[in-house]
Each structure stands twice: as structure tokens, then as C-alpha cells.
Chain A
Amino acid sequence: MVLAVGEADAGREVFLGFGPVSIAVFYGLTLIALVWFTRGVVLRVRKYRRGGPVSRVGWQRLARGLADVFSQRTVGRRDRYVGIAHGLVFWGFLVLFVGTAIIAVDEDILGLVKPEWQFWHGAFYVAYALTLDVFGVAFIAGLLMLGWRRRARPPRLDYARVDRDTYDRSGYALDDRAFLAILVFLGASGYLLEGFRIAATDFPSFERVSLVGWAVASASTFLGSSGVDTARVVTWWIHTGAALAFVAYLPYSKGVHMLTDPVDLIVTDRTSARSLPPVEDLTRPGIGSLEAMTWKHLLDFDACTKCGRCHEVCPARASGAPLSPRDLVLDLRELADSNAGIRLWYGPGAEPGFAGAGEIPGPVIAPATLWACTTCMACMETCPVGIEHVPLIVGMRRHLVDAGEVNAGLQDAFQALAKGGNSLGKPAKLRARWTRGLDFEVADARTDEVETLWFVGDYASFHARAIGVTQAVARLYRRAGIDYGILHDGERNAGNDVRRAGEEGLFEMLRDHNLAAVAAAAPTRIVTTDPHSLNTLRHEYGLDIEILHYTQVLDDAVTRGLLNPGGLVGRATYHDPCYLGRYAGEYEAPRRLIRATGLEVVEMGRCRENSFCCGAGGVRISMVDEWEGERPAENRIREAVALGDDVRWFVVACPKDVVMYTDAVKSTGNEDRLEVIDIAELLERALTTEEALVD
């Protein structure tokens, strides 16, 4: 037994003063903990291996995922407090873990095979001791910050369910608290142990770098030298026991996210909602059971930390719909765990009836829950661990559609789309009727050669309110000298929302029709009015030409001086459409256009990638909201109204928004306060004003 003292060879002994029995007991307990840990990991890996294949490899993915993990940026986005706290815990734990691993390597491997290579002493030891002490403080500070936050009971951490009245989530809350408590205990007992050890080894001067340990040691001298050593031994066993218990408990608790989340962040595909996976097996489309899930789905369920961010941002949840993305994921996790024989430490946690459930949509996830999703992608955008909710929900919808389980509004929309190519049930040949309101002809891209093909879309073509916007866009294109044409009645609904409603066959039918029409017209670029069309044309049609949104084209025209708006005075707010913002990443063009009219843009709290959906997507615009809450569009209008009396315009850039918000200002009684106006209408007004000034 060598007791290394002195600056020259700083260090410490791992099993200071322990007899062979104690050491044997320690290794015995370690073995048990590792067996339990391994068992849990194996059960989970086996669970993932039952999932179907999906390819998620690539260096870029790895690089971005690792950057997400080590920067903790996905945790800190839009919540700096939690970001800092979790960052402290993450880095604290990581360093403490690496520290422990270093001892294991030095003692248990090098100590046995190559003692002369052992390095855990001397200058290295001093640096080690300093580092661990500092990061230990960070670790505990982060944990306390997180614990403190829980005292205020933030709404996103409320596990009350939106889809059923009876449930027991006490296990979840217990798991959260236990996880925090164990970690705090590990950190605190570690410092105590360090302090007692320093005191018991007569305050070796190099240990001064162990700042906290030294302070504890100094404070513990009242125990006397034998008292301190007893305290050291007792604390050693308590700390070690707690650490080993933590290892054994980890895969059966919230702790598992420490294993799953770094992996999930690497393998996640943030584009999976904008270009949905194709249906592999036409005879069994969609996700009807666990067997139809991929390993990524199953990994996603384990990745969830119940942080509740998706629950908070979900427009369906906010309007009282029986959908919470968090609950959906947790339900599926309970199902997957119970089927894989994984029992969590706090109990089964699963709703009664989940075990052995074959069919998922219905017994486990209610169809109304699935139909409530607008596919706005706010959940995926905000999820700090890379869970892909939208493709999962669409997958289950595909199963429902295949089984014919669709509600009346959706069925009407599907049938209208199959018949007339639009969801409004209008005859196909009336698609270009809106052009009658113009005093010029719109070129027919099927017969005239045009550079730009304008893909108008359903609402822009047929809906009484949206037609005004469409005509404004047509006049603006003409003024800007853009050489464009439309497909007239050769256009069909682009199929973006149909696909997201799970009707893949109908999507293919519409896509094939449009592809043939586009191929015949052979334009050099396509411009859409509807951001929804933009998404599917861009990402799901396999077209190899430039596809733009009309705000991008108009922005370009203004930048190049082809349109010179101006003269408007006042303040406006802008609503980012989900499919233009989150899906297409275009936040600036619309804002530049609004500023070009002379108006000042005042941002709502939820803007850009955090924009709040109007409630229309995923064919929800064709369904009846059968629940009681405030509709998403009304919620949004109230947010805009709260910006102040001087914000007069609510500017939108999507025909469905025009329709939804025009209704919402009426139903909330804000018609006099706020004018819902499309950017094209605003721009036209600014051009008229400008001309009036010039005249």
C-alpha cells in the first residue's frame, strides 16, 4: 500500500484503508449494477432491432448531431435558463463520468496489466482534481436550477392529459424528482467523501486545488482524526452504493435519455416531415401496429424526456383538441416497453389495456387525436432531442385511411379531390374562373410558351375571399413584367395536405396528373401561391427546376426595382405560415416586402420558426373542430391584438391564412382593430399610394 504524498507525486489511493473483503464487496456490487445496466440496455436495443429499417447514416448528420449534443443548443433554444442549467448538468456529469472512467482505466486495467503506465498521479492528478471539483460545482448548480424551476410548476411540465379523463401519471412525476434527487445526492456525497478523505489524509497540500473538498475537510476537523476516517468510510460506501444504484437504475428510468438522446440527435432527420417517406407495402400502408414502426420511431419514444415543449407549442393542444404530441409519444413508449418486457422502476406506467394491443390507432391512440394534427411541425422544430412526430402521425393516418376510418369532412374533401381535383368540391373546369375578374388575359401554360409557371392552388383559385388575393398577385406579376402562365383547368390540388392526411393513393394520383401537366408546359421555374403546394412540389414531386413562393418572386421584383411600392404609414405584424417558415425556411422575403411598403414590422412573441399555426393544415381546414377550446386562428389574432392599438395590419402570405384569419378577426370581434391582409394586397395598395403621391 503506497500512500503518495507531496507535490512531486500527488495522487490518492482508490481503496484507502480497505481490506480484501471490502474490495471484493465493492467489485461484487459493481458487477451486479453492471449486469442490471447491461440487461436494460440489451432489452432496449433488442426493442429497437425489432423496428423496421430506415437509413440514417452520414458524416454531416454525425457532425451536426454531435454539435447539437455538445453545444446543448437544442436544449437552450428559446429557453436560456433551462439551456444553461442543463448545459451545466450535462458538462458536469460528462466530466465527472470521464473522471470516474479515468480511475477505472488507471486502477482496474493499467494497475493490473501495466502498473508502470499508470498516470493518475502527479501533475495530471492535480489538474484532474481541480477540473472535477469545478465541474462538480457546475453539475450541482445546474441540478439545483432545474429543481428550483420545478417548484413553480411550469405548465409544460403538467402531465394532465388532453385526450382522456382517467389516467395515472404519478409515476412520471416521481421519476422526474427521483432522477434529480439521485444526481444531487451523488454530487453532494462526492464532495463530502472528498472532504473527509482530505481530512483523513492530513490535508495534503496539493489537494488545495480541490476547492470544495478542501472546504469540507476544513469544516470536518471537529470530528477528530478517527471520526473523520469513519465518516470517510461510511460516506465512501454511501456514495459508491448510490452511484452503483444509479448505474443499475439508469436504463429503467428517465436516466435512459442520457443514452438515447445523443444517438437520436445524430440519427434524426429534420426534413422527414417536409418530404414524407413513401408507402412501402401497398397492401399494408401506414403504421397500424408496433411491427410497422422503424427503429427510429422506437428510439424516438425512449428519447422523450417529457420536457413538454411540443405540448406547449401544439396548436391542436392549445385549442382543446385531444392531441398532445408529448402524450402521443409517451403512450407509444408505454406500449413499446410493455411489449418488450421493459418494466420501469416506478412501475409499469402503461395505461391498462396497452399491453399486447396489436392495433395502435384506436385502442392506443384515438383517431380523433390523430386527425387533430395540422402538421404545422412546431413540435418537431421545438423538440430538443430530435423526435419526428409528424411523419409518425401521418403514418398512423395512412393506416386509418386504408381502413376507411375517416371523418365526414375529410371524406368529403377526399371525394371532391378525387373527382374535381380540389378540396372545395367545385367543378374542375371552374378553376380559372377567377381570371374573369381581371382586365387582361392570363396566358395558358398548356398552349403558350411561358418562362414561369404559376401553380395557383385550390383556395387561391376557388375560395371567394382568397380569389381577391390571387387577382392581386396576377396584377403584380404583370406590372413586374414577369412572363407567366397558369395551367387553367389542367391544374389539380398539389396534394401536400392530402398526403399529410394519409391518403397516399390520392396524392399519387394528383401528383401524376400535375407532373404530366408541368412536363407538357416545360417551364423554367414554378411559382406557387400556397406554401403547402410549394412544399410538396419542391420536396415530393422530384422536379428538377426552381420552385418559389410568390413572396420570393415579388421580393426579387422589388429588389430589382421592377416594383416600387411605398407610402404606407403605420405598423403591421406578420404571421409566418408554417409551410413557408418552418418547412421552407423563408422568413425574410415577406418581411422585406412589408417594409418596402413603408410599414414597420412588429413581431409577435411567436414568430419565425416558432410561429403559431392557423389550424388549417393537414386538411384540418376541411374538418369540423368538435372540441370546445379557442381555435388556433383566434388564439393567434388575440396575440396580434395584444401588440397594441397602433398595429393595424395582420399580414399573411398564404391563401389558407387569408381565409382562416379573416374568419377569426370576425369571430373574435376584432374587425375594427385589425385588418387581415395578404402581402400581395398590401403591396398593391402601396403601389397605388405611391402612384398617387407621384401624380
Chain B
Amino acid sequence: MNIAVLMRPVPDPVEELEISPDGADLDRDYLGYVVNEFDEHALEEGLLIKEQVGGTITVLAPGSADEIDDILYTALAKGADRAVKLGTDVGPLSAHALARLFTDALSDIDFDLVLTGVQAADELDGQVSVLVASMLRLPHISVVTATEPIAAGVRVTKEFWAGITADYEVTLPAVLGVQAARQAPRYVAISRIRQAQQGEGLVEADAVPPERGSVRITAVRLPEAEDGAEMLGGDAEAAAERIIEILRAAGVVQGG
């Protein structure tokens, strides 16, 4: 089975975010990027399928930043066969623009299955997985937590809520939005990534930055914590004292 995995960088969720001077975006000068964690799961699921039935894995990622090289070389080191870096300088893209970029690139690639993360934390205008599928007129399933290659295509587990899941069978080609791979994404030793950097698995493909679309951010805020909670302050002892009072008022701690 030939698999295309779509990956994109997102601002590092660990870092503190700051607002740009015009107030309409994050301050991207100080942002660190990491690979979207759902995309890592998509790659892992792809690697597991490849281990089961063979085939090739092509990884695509947009942009020119160093982070993209890291993402792609890591994917190669983990077992992807080819990595394609899309575009020279596309900047932050809308989900629609990103989906268009991926769709164009997929026309040059022989694939049976497209895997990508179910969502990304900054996808304001849609989910890339479903957008790509719809643009290519392919069947899609979101929130996938397991796959099983079968003769007719792939058997897929989709998660709903409250722990309820359902199984589907999909004929190929198809697009899956992966929530979680069957197992946690594997670790790849740094020396393997370095070896991948010496290899020839990474190619650059020209891509035209698509239109940004018709959804525009007018203002960005960091929600004030104090909006919601009454902050207790003080040291741990003082706070513990207050919390016990609160629990007493809530009727879950008896006595006084």
C-alpha cells in the first residue's frame, strides 16, 4: 500500500504565546514550531501499515523553515521512503490554502491512502484532512484511532465520544484524519536522523502559495485567567487552607 502522510508545523504548545503588535496574530518572531502531534500519530499509523503489508510512505510538509527539515528527516529516519518539502516561502497558511497546496502536490504522487492528523490547534478554517479529501473527491473518515489493512482496502476505527467507537470499511484511495495511532509514535535515535540528513530521501517541490481565503482574523487575545477563577494567592499552606474551606462550603468535607 502506498501511503502519503501530510504533516505540518504548529506553534509549540509548551511555549508562552504572545500577541503581535497589530493585535491580529501571534508574535511569530518568537514562536517555536513543532510538528503537529496528530500528524505524528498519522505517520506512526502509516509506518505500522507499511510494516504489515509493505508499500511506500511519502511524507509531505509545507514551508521552508528549519523545523520542516527536522520534521521530514525525522520521518525518513523512522521509515518513510520519500519526503517532499513543499514551497519555498509560504508563511502561515489557512487550512484551505494548506489543503490546496497538499492537493496540488498529491497529483504528482502515486498513493492509495492519505493519512494526516485529525486537526491542528491553529486550523481556523477547517480540517486539512477532510478539505483535501473533498477537493480530491475521495472518501474520508476523521477521528481515526486504528486501521487494519484488508483485501478491499482498510478497516478503520473512528472514535465518537464517551468511549464509543465504530468500525468502517473503506475502499481506496481514501483520506483518514488520525486522532491516535494504534501505538504511541515511535522514537528515532538522533544518529538515525543525522544519517537521513546524509541520504537523498528529501526533495523540494515548487509550490505556489494559494490564496488565503475569505476568513480573516481581526483580533487575537490571550484569555485572562482571572476572567474565570477567583485566584487564591498566598503560599501552598494558605491556599490549602482556603481550598479546604471551599470544599467544606461545597459540602464534600464535613466538620469545621
Interface residues of A (CB under 8 A from B): 279, 282-283, 285, 401-402, 404, 406, 408, 410-411, 414-415, 418-420, 425-427, 503-506, 508-509
Q: Is the CB of B195 within 8 A of A404?
A: no
Q: Is the CB of A402 within 8 A of B14?
A: no
- Using Cβ atoms and an 8 Å threshold, which residues of chain A touch B161? none
CA distance A505 to B34 in the complex (A): 20
Chain A proximity of B251: nearest CB distance (Å):
30
CA distance A507 to B193 in the complex (A): 14
Q: Is the CB of B192 within 8 A of A427?
A: no
Chain B proximity of A663: nearest CB distance (Å):
15
Given contacts A282-B195, A283-B195, A408-B184, contact A425 B14 (CB under 8 A): yes
Given contacts A282-B195, A283-B195, contact A503 B186 (CB under 8 A): no
CA distance A285 to B193 in the complex (A): 14
Closest to B190 in A: A505
Give the contacting residue for A404; candidates B12, B15, B186, B194; CB below 8 A: B186
- Using Cβ atoms and an 8 Å threshold, which residues of chain A touch B12? 419, 427
- Using Cβ atoms and an 8 Å threshold, which residues of chain A touch B168? none
Q: Is B16's beta carbon under 8 Å from chain A? A: yes
Give the contacting residue for A503; candidates B14, B78, B189; CB below 8 A: B189
Give the contacting residue for A401; candidates B15, B34, B78, B187; CB below 8 A: B187
CA distance A282 to B16 in the complex (A): 37
Q: Is the CB of A427 within 8 A of B15?
A: yes
- Using Cβ atoms and an 8 Å threshold, which residues of chain B touch A406? 187
CA distance A505 to B195 in the complex (A): 10
Chain A proximity of B50: nearest CB distance (Å):
14
CA distance A283 to B199 in the complex (A): 13
A-B contact pairs, 13 of them (CB 8 A): A401-B189, A404-B186, A404-B187, A404-B189, A406-B187, A411-B184, A415-B187, A425-B14, A427-B12, A427-B32, A503-B189, A503-B190, A505-B189
Closest to A414 in B: B187
Q: Is B65's beta carbon under 8 Å from chain A? A: no
CA distance A504 to B189 in the complex (A): 8
Given contacts A282-B195, A283-B195, contact A427 B16 (CB under 8 A): yes
Chain A proximity of B20: nearest CB distance (Å):
18
Chain A proximity of B190: nearest CB distance (Å):
3
CA distance A331 to B14 in the complex (A): 44
Chain A proximity of B187: nearest CB distance (Å):
5
CA distance A427 to B16 in the complex (A): 9
CA distance A617 to B193 in the complex (A): 26
Most buried by A among B32, B189, B193, B194: B189
Q: Is the CB of A285 within 8 A of B15?
A: no
CA distance A419 to B194 in the complex (A): 15
Interface mask (B145-181 → A, CB under 8 Å = 1, otherwise 0): 0000000000000000000000000000000000000
Closest to B16 in A: A427
Chain B proximity of A147: nearest CB distance (Å):
50
Interface mask (B106-129 → A, CB under 8 Å = 1, otherwise 0): 000000000000000000000000
Q: Is B254's beta carbon under 8 Å from chain A? A: no
Closest to A506 in B: B190
Closest to A401 in B: B189
Give the contacting residue for A505; candidates B16, B32, B186, B193; CB below 8 A: B193
Chain A proximity of B30: nearest CB distance (Å):
9
Taking A282-B194, A505-B189 as known contacts, 6 extra A-B pairs with beta carbons closer than 8 A to each other, sorted by chain A number, are A402-B189, A425-B14, A427-B14, A504-B189, A504-B190, A506-B189
Q: Is B218's beta carbon under 8 Å from chain A? A: no
CA distance A418 to B194 in the complex (A): 13
Q: Is the CB of A505 within 8 A of B184?
A: no
Q: Is the CB of B14 within 8 A of A505?
A: no
- Using Cβ atoms and an 8 Å threshold, which residues of chain B touch A283? 195
Interface residues of B (CB under 8 A from A): 12, 14-16, 32, 34, 78, 184, 186-195
- Using Cβ atoms and an 8 Å threshold, which residues of chain B touch A506? 189-190
Closest to A419 in B: B34
- Using Cβ atoms and an 8 Å threshold, which residues of chain B touch A425? 14
Give the contacting residue for A402; candidates B32, B34, B192; CB below 8 A: B192
CA distance A402 to B12 in the complex (A): 26
CA distance A664 to B124 in the complex (A): 47
Q: What are the nearest 7 A-B pairs in CB distance?
A: A505-B190, A505-B191, A506-B190, A411-B187, A404-B186, A406-B187, A402-B189
- Using Cβ atoms and an 8 Å threshold, which residues of chain A touch B189? 285, 401-402, 404, 503-506
CA distance A402 to B187 in the complex (A): 9
- Using Cβ atoms and an 8 Å threshold, which residues of chain A touch B192? 402, 505
Closest to A403 in B: B189
CA distance A404 to B14 in the complex (A): 24
Q: Is the CB of B190 within 8 A of A418?
A: yes
Most buried by A among B32, B34, B192, B195: B192
Chain B proximity of A600: nearest CB distance (Å):
32
- Using Cβ atoms and an 8 Å threshold, which residues of chain B touch A411? 184, 187
Given contacts A425-B14, A427-B14, A427-B15, contact A504 B191 (CB under 8 A): yes
Closest to B77 in A: A404
CA distance A125 to B12 in the complex (A): 86
CA distance A378 to B152 in the complex (A): 58
CA distance A251 to B193 in the complex (A): 46
Q: Is the CB of A505 within 8 A of B187?
A: no
Closest to A416 in B: B14
Given contacts A402-B189, A408-B184, contact A505 B15 (CB under 8 A): no
CA distance A279 to B189 in the complex (A): 13
CA distance A138 to B116 in the complex (A): 77
Chain A proximity of B161: nearest CB distance (Å):
26
CA distance A285 to B195 in the complex (A): 12
CA distance A427 to B194 in the complex (A): 23
- Using Cβ atoms and an 8 Å threshold, which residues of chain B touch A505? 189-194
Closest to A418 in B: B190
- Using Cβ atoms and an 8 Å threshold, which residues of chain B touch A418? 190
- Using Cβ atoms and an 8 Å threshold, which residues of chain B touch A509? 190
Closest to B30 in A: A429
Chain A proximity of B74: nearest CB distance (Å):
9
Chain B proximity of A671: nearest CB distance (Å):
14
- Using Cβ atoms and an 8 Å threshold, which residues of chain A touch B190? 418, 503-506, 508-509
Q: Is the CB of A279 within 8 A of B191?
A: yes
- Using Cβ atoms and an 8 Å threshold, which residues of chain A touch B32? 419, 427
Closest to B79 in A: A404
- Using Cβ atoms and an 8 Å threshold, which residues of chain A touch B191? 279, 282, 285, 402, 504-505, 508
Closest to A425 in B: B14
- Using Cβ atoms and an 8 Å threshold, which residues of chain A touch B187? 401, 404, 406, 410-411, 414-415
